[in-house]
Amino acid sequence: MEDVSVYLFLGFLESGKTKFIQETLEDERMDSGENTVLLICEEGVEEFLPEKFSVRNVAVVTLESADELTEENLDKITRKYSAQRVIVEYNGTWLLQQFFDAMPESWVINQMMTFFDTGTFLNYNANMRQLVFDKIQMTQMVVFNRFKGEFAKEDFHKIVRGISRRPDIVYEYIGGKAEFDDIADPLPYDTEAPVIEIGDRDFAWFYRDMAENVQNYVGKTVRFKGMAAVSKKVPKGFIVLGRHIMTCCEADIAYDGFAVNCNGLLDGIATRDWLTVTAKINFEYNSVYRADGPVLSAIELTRSDPPEDIIATYY
């Protein structure tokens, strides 16, 4: 089968998904002549009005429960309507992985947007963090609907950026005015300093930026505190030094660290020892990664006390 373009719209009830999709399908410029399936995964307050669609050949299909979200069922829908394009209004309480697991091989995601009602977002983030994280982690755009001047953009910006630096952020005001987020995202440390000092609370940011932009660190010197890991899988003379990082919630806490060549500076290192390292950053093969990766060559290596907060976060 030919590839089927998928447009995935995420968010909770009353976040503005239905309105956006309805207006999109009313736009004559969206009428490409493709056979389109509008896949509705939740029963919202607003209903679609197919009679107002300018896009032709739209089949509206509703999934009543997550049990219907299977590859077999989605493939059946694709074939039944000869779908060339699928627009998905996804259920805010279903995890995104459920959708990915059910996608037929022919489906290719072209666009992913996430909508939030500004008035309820902070409460959702405080009480259903995992679902908020799930809807932001891979999206291309986050839209905060019904935004008012009384809200501080920084409160919303930092939550999104704590999850991902990838998506654009848009604030849509009551009345239709929309503004793109232009808040700068400086790192909480100076990457141009002779020695890049990573504060205890900043390790998660450092680890993520190193993973995404390692070329910005190669050849530089860094100092940070971490917990050692030693095993037979780590080459002789090396340790892994890192922290437990909580990206979303307690359920996803994981230890992440870097391969460090100790250069004989400290003996008797055991797993769970807390150390402070000053090291030059190289990019080369190491069996810790089973690939090329950031390998730190220690200049100084000393024992240290644990940080005040053992778990590193994106605060």
Give residue-wise pLDDT tens across range 66-113: 999 999 999 999 999 999 999 999 999 999 999 999 999 999 999 999
Q: Is the dihedral of CA 11, 12, 15, 20 positive or negative?
A: positive
- CB–CB of 142/114 below 8 Å? yes
- What are the backbone dihedrals phi and psi of residue 21, each rounded to the nearest 5 degrees, phi first? -65, -40
What pLDDT is recorded for position 263?
97
Is the pTM value of this prediction over 0.85?
Answer: no
User: Across residues 175-191, what is the average pLDDT?
Assistant: 89
Q: Do residues 142 and 165 touch, judged by C-beta distance below 8 A? A: no
Q: Please give the full DSSP string across 201-266, using - where no structure is assigned.
A: GGHHHHHHHHHH-GGGTTT-EEEEEEEEE--TTSPTTEEEEEEEE-SSSGGG-EEEEEEEE-TTS-
pLDDT tens digits along 9-44: 999 999 999 999 999 999 999 998 999 999 999 987
Average pLDDT over residues 274-303: 97
Are the C-beta atoms of residues 146 and 41 closer than 8 Å to each other? Answer: no
